[in-house]
């Protein structure tokens, strides 16, 4: 029996959910919500675009393993005021030195 590939309409529900929010009052788009992620992640490029420097990072020895089992260290952590909708909370992000398909990854609380 031949394999039938689903059409684009049939795969529409599989697309990532990106939302918009604010970090310390600055707008950020392409925020990926992943309830399966144990930590919040911010790529270093976005961190720099928010006007933050290495002096704002808290050093950590946390190592991150991606889906391909590559292990890489976090550059540090940063605590920011994160706003989504009408809710603002202090939120900690692990800053990584890698380009991602998202601007922020929001994991579990």
What is the pLDDT at residue 19?
92
Tokens (6 digits) for 78: 């940063």
Q: What backbone torsions phi and psi does residue 45 show, to the nearest 5 degrees?
A: -60, -45
Decide if 8 is inside a domain.
no
Decide if 9 is inside a domain.
no
Number of Cβ atoms within 10 Å of the Cβ of 39: 16
If one counts the domains in the chain, the total is 1
Range of the domain at 90: 17-106
Decide if 77 is inside a domain.
yes
The C-alpha atoms of residue 103 and residue 18 are separated, in whole angstroms, by: 10
Decide if 5 is inside a domain.
no
The alpha carbons of the chain give a radius of gyration, in whole angstroms, of 16
Decide if 76 is inside a domain.
yes
Closest CA to 30 of 39, 40, 41, 17: 17
pLDDT, tens digit (0-9, with 9 covering 90-100), for 41-91: 999 999 999 999 989 999 998 888 776 788 888 999 999 999 999 999 999
Residue 14 has pLDDT above 70, yes or no: no
Whichever domain contains 82, its CATH number is 2.40.70.10
pTM of the model: 0.80
Decide if 2 is inside a domain.
no
Residues, the chain: 109
Decide if 3 is inside a domain.
no
């Amino acid at each position: 029996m031949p394999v039938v590939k689903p059409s684009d309409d049939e795969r529409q529900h599989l697309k990532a959910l990106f939302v918009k929010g604010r970090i310390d009052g600055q707008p950020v788009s392409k925020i990926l919500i992943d309830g399966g992620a144990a930590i919040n992640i911010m790529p270093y490029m976005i961190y720099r675009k928010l006007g933050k420097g290495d002096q704002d990072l808290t050093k950590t020895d946390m190592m991150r393993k991606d889906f391909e089992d590559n292990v890489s260290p976090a550059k540090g952590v940063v605590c920011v005021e994160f706003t989504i909708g009408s809710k603002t909370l202090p939120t900690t992000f692990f800053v990584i030195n890698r380009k991602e398909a998202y601007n922020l990854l929001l994991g579990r609380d």
